[in-house]
Amino acid sequence: MSIQETEKNRERVRALLERNDVEIPNPESVTIGADVRLDAIEEGVRIGPATTITGEETMIGSGTRIDGSAVIRNCMIGRNCTLQSGEYLDSVLLDGCGTVGWARIRGSCAWEEGTQSAHNVDTKTTVLGYKTTLGSLINFCNVLMLGGTSPRLEVGAEVGSGTINFNFLPFGPPVGALIKPSTVIGSMESPFLSCSGAPVQYDFIGGHSSIIAPVVIGLNSMVAAKTRVAPGIYGDNILIGGGNIGKTIVLDVSKVKILKDIRPKYKILLHQLSAAAAYHRWCGLRIEWAESNQLDDFEIRLIRAFTEKVDRFIDALEDYGDNLARYLTADDGHSRPESLDINKQMVRRWQDELKPGVRKLLQDYTDYETGTEGLKSALSELYGRASGDKMGFYDLLAQLEYSSPEVESARNYFKQLTERVLALGKDL
């Protein structure tokens, strides 16, 4: 920075310090960008040494600690988070999230409350549900993980150290770099497992596992350590193990780029879109509830931004479907001869029926009010009783009985929404 820029930065840092409610132990090492709204950094925030904060969208909630050597750009961070060194870019972390050293959270990630990661974790365009825990040395890009939780065990879904989600398909230079499949773990049953009396169900991905996207793994399933999870749809309540390559495979690389019947890939994609669409509606419920109960502006802006990141994940799923179609229609030689007609039909169906159908259901609120009215009312009543204690959304949800009519009605609504999306491709 020039001398003039350095002095202006000092003025911004000083302005935060003069409020007497922001702690900056080593102000000379901290950079606050000119585009940062200082009033979006709440009281009780601690900004550690060698931290750089930029971006007009950046928000940092009260009680959050940035322990130092962090780069924060257009990242919206909730209250009472603890973030150590790393990059936090264009993402949203809700209350109580935490990282250990050298995290990389980028590309429209969205972490729900209580999500934690150990050191050297990279997530990109990844949505993690309530209380997800990631171990160390993990690369988890293009993942939606709604893996369940249990108030009795105080745990959520967990991913073991050394796990990678492989999300790149080498389909050649014309569009290969654009074809990035995703992985979905868990289901929309997950949020309701925080309710009192809910069954103990959560996903566990063992360490040093390789997930070869596109993959769908159901709720309450486990992946054994050192497993290679091949593309496919895996059910609920199962153990996935083995799958490691036992012998060397040598092929002409051109054969990798010639695709067989593509329908199974679109079937996986539709399952992923069903989960993402239902979760998007869940986020909308949270926005509606926050606004009706007049939560403060910071909290409402945070959950709105979180929902926008879920939109970006849905966009990424659609991009995969579009680019797969683009690759298949670019050259007849990209399909095996026996699969050419099937693949062309599948491309047309994706473009004319499946993608528009999912978009239509995202805008269709049939049975939404009757299915969720009881849940919203019960949560509002609990919030009113809390009388200013500022209980979190999931803390309130945990006070409701899993078997109560209002929870049961909401669970059925989200289940039916998921089934309506899946019905679009029931014959795949």
| Mean pLDDT confidence for 257-269 | 95
CB 138 within 8 A of CB 159: yes
User: Closest Cα to residue 159, out of 135, 142, 137?
Assistant: 135
CB under 8 Å to 403, separation ≥6 — which residues?
197
Averaged pLDDT for residues 282-286: 98
Q: Find, among 51, 122, 133, 130, the residue nearest to 91 by Cα.
A: 122
Q: How far is 285 from 410, CA to CA, in rounded Å?
A: 11
Kindly report, residue by residue over 82-113, the tens digit of the pLDDT. 999 999 999 999 999 999 989 999 999 999 99
Token digits for 136? 């160390």
The percent of residues above 70 in pLDDT, for the chain, comes to: 96
Give me the sign of the Cα torsion angle 216, 392, 120, 105.
positive
Taking a C-beta distance cutoff of 8 angstroms, is the pair 268, 428 a contact?
no
Radius of gyration (C-alpha) of the chain in whole angstroms: 23
Helical (H) or strand (E) element with 6: helix 3-18
Which is more confident, 1 or 257? 257
Is the entire prediction scored with pTM above 0.85? yes
Which tokens hold the place of 114? 């209580």
How many Cβ atoms from other residues are within 10 Å of residue 399's Cβ? 16
For tokens 């959050």, what's the residue? 64
Residues pairing with 139 in the sheet: 122, 164
The whole-chain average pLDDT of the chain stands at 93
Instruction: Give the C-alpha separation, 357 to 349, whole Å.
Output: 10
**Closest C-alpha to 328, from 271, 264, 260, 272:** 260
243: alpha, beta or left? (left if phi > 0; alpha if psi -120 to 50): left
CA distances from 130 to 47, 72, 191, 194 (A): 25, 22, 7, 9
**pLDDT range class, residue 387, cuts 50, 70, 90:** low
Q: So what's the pLDDT on residue 286?
A: 98
Sign of the torsion angle spanned by Cα atoms 12, 15, 19, 23: positive
CA dihedral for 243, 249, 253, 258, sign (positive or negative): negative
pLDDT digits (tens, 9 = 90+) for 201-214: 999 999 999 999 99
- CA 195, CA 191: separation in Å to the nearest integer? 8
Quote the CA–CA distance of 192 and 178 in Å, as a whole number. Answer: 35
| Strands 155-156 vs 149-150: parallel, antiparallel or unpaired | antiparallel
Cα separation, 326 vs 162, whole angstroms: 33
Mean local confidence (pLDDT), 270-288: 98
Q: Does 388 score more than 60 pLDDT?
A: no
